[in-house]
Amino acid sequence: MIDALDQETRLIVDARLRPVIGSTFQPTGFANLGAAEFQRPGHPPSLLVESVQSLANHFEAVGFDAASKQPIPLLEDLPWIDVRAADGAHLTSSREEPHRLAAAYIRNAEIDAEPGLVWTVRRLGLRAGRPFDWQAMYGAIFALDPLCLIHGVFFSDKGFHGNPKVRRALSAVIEAHDVVPVVSGGLKRDDVQFKSSEGQGAEEGYGFVPFGRTEYTAREIVFSASIDLAQLRGYGLDPSATRLLTLLAVWELRSLLDGPLRLRTACDLELEQLSVRRPDGFALPATAALESAIRDCGGVFDEPGARTATWPAPKAR
């Protein structure tokens, strides 16, 4: 199934998307910038619908059950760090934090009776005055949370010698081309008080408040994704571990495209057409086949499942 990727450097997938209802959609917005419109030389206006960093969050979400705060059953044997309060309540995890294993909630927690920073530095083998042992470090990250080798991790705190960084191996973006803004508006009603008064105005949530909004329509909405297969092999892990990482990355890609792509309130998209640009002739496997292959990768980890971190770390007595 994925054996055809063994000698390939990239898996590149393109998909055409369309709005589920109507023909307009709400793009991603950035503080102080608004929608990210851009111009390709010689082409009509384009728009960034979903950024690389935002889609990384969506990829990770397909493997994590937000209601139970646990990985989905398919991934329950993969190592991860579960951050809990002293009373045992779940707070966050290496699967939910933007910085994953490098998150402050892990760094400043207690893990296996050690400060989280000390524990992480020891597991990664970081030593001042010594160059990185990258292969050992990749192996350590794989043993702590293998999804960090797919989505990247940056140990940027000053307590991490040299601040090692692993870039994303799975990246994707959604763009719209030949776009036209659709300007509309609405009115927040208040049938109790027709006129606002002092202390009971729009700021306090009273009165009639008109508002405007800008959505877009486009000739085409394109999803493009790349899995850096050379990077996954370059970690130097055991072949069974490399195979599992490859399967997980392809599974996340396939699962996201198969599922509902409701990115925002007014950005509900669905798959219209899917193609593999590279390697030529490769067909993206079905989700069920990928899940079966992932289940067959049992026994890869010496310490499967969750490791608990307590945040904040108890004060030394």
- Domain boundaries of the chain, sorted by first residue: 3-310
pTM: 0.91
Stretch 210-224: mean pLDDT, rounded?
89
Show the CA angle centred on residue 311, arms to residues 300 and 114, nearest 5°.
65
Distance CA 244, CA 302 (A): 15
More confident residue, 192 or 282: 282
pLDDT score of 123? 95
pLDDT score of 12? 98
Cα dist. 308→85, 147, 242, 252, 304 in Å? 10, 17, 26, 25, 12
Q: Which pLDDT band, with edges at 50, 70 and 90, does 194 fall under?
A: low
pLDDT score of 186? 79
pLDDT score of 87? 95
Q: Which pLDDT band, with edges at 50, 70 and 90, does 298 fall under?
A: confident
pLDDT at 164 over 50: yes
pLDDT at 198 over 80: no
**pLDDT, tens digit (0-9, with 9 covering 90-100), for 241-279:** 999 999 999 999 999 999 999 998 889 999 999 999 999
Q: Which pLDDT band, with edges at 50, 70 and 90, does 317 fall under?
A: very low
Pairing mode, if any, of strands 90-93 and 110-111?
unpaired
pLDDT score of 313? 87
pLDDT at 95 over 90: yes
Residue 203, C-beta contacts closer than 8 angstroms, at least 6 positions apart: none
Stretch 137-159: mean pLDDT, rounded?
96
pLDDT at 315 over 90: no
